[in-house]
Homo-oligomer: A and B are copies of this chain.
Amino acid sequence: MNDTLKTIMNRKSVRKFSDKTISPEDIKTILQAGMSGPSCVNSRCWSFVVVRDKDKLLQMADANVRYADPLRGAALGILVCGDLSRTEFFANAREFWAIDGAIAAQNMILAAESLGIGSCWLGTWPVEERVANQAALFDLPEHIVPHSVIALGYPADDVPPGPRPGRPEWDADRVHWETW
């Protein structure tokens, strides 16, 4: 298995982080990975709000309402947003912005994993309350739509390395050959 496959198959959500900070170089690499996915007609219709401030991370966790505790101990939070102003000039891009945001977020999660940095994806869009809260917290312009929050950090000492037990899983019943 090559290293990329190992990264993909071994990734698991990490919810407890150590105090170690993430270097500016690694933050830039993670963001650049986010910018390297496909997007509809190359509209690149996303923006990223990068948060290291501990108080702001707590506020982001509150804004996401539920399941957002990993952010409270994270070294870094990235709010992935869709930039709808970038979809105006491209047919169909507005329809696909949410998919393009997910591609960017998954690329960042895998880039982080390859650097030994754990992550947890916190769903925001399309839950209206979470979207409204994050938009208010960051005073976002109307064309910028909160999509997802990624909590990042080095795994805490008691997070075992390697994949989750039972991973990688193979669900044969989820694969259909040629026809349904």
Contacts and interface: CB of A to CB of B under 8 A. Distances in A.
Contact of A180 (B126, B138, B180): B138
Contact of A178 (B46, B52, B126): B52
16 contacts: A3-B3, A4-B7, A8-B107, A9-B32, A32-B168, A38-B121, A40-B123, A47-B174, A47-B175, A48-B174, A50-B175, A103-B105, A107-B110, A138-B180, A140-B180, A144-B180
A32 B11 CA distance: 13
Interface of A: 1-5, 7-9, 11, 13, 28-29, 31-33, 35-38, 40, 44, 46-53, 56, 83, 92, 95-96, 98-99, 102-103, 105-107, 109-111, 113-115, 121, 123, 125-127, 138-141, 144, 148, 167-171, 174-180
**This protein's copies in its complex:** 2
A1 to B, nearest CB: 8
Contact of A36 (B8, B35, B46, B139): B8
Contact of A111 (B5, B38, B125): B5
Nearest to A114: B4
Given A48-B174, A106-B106, A123-B99, A2 B3 contact: yes
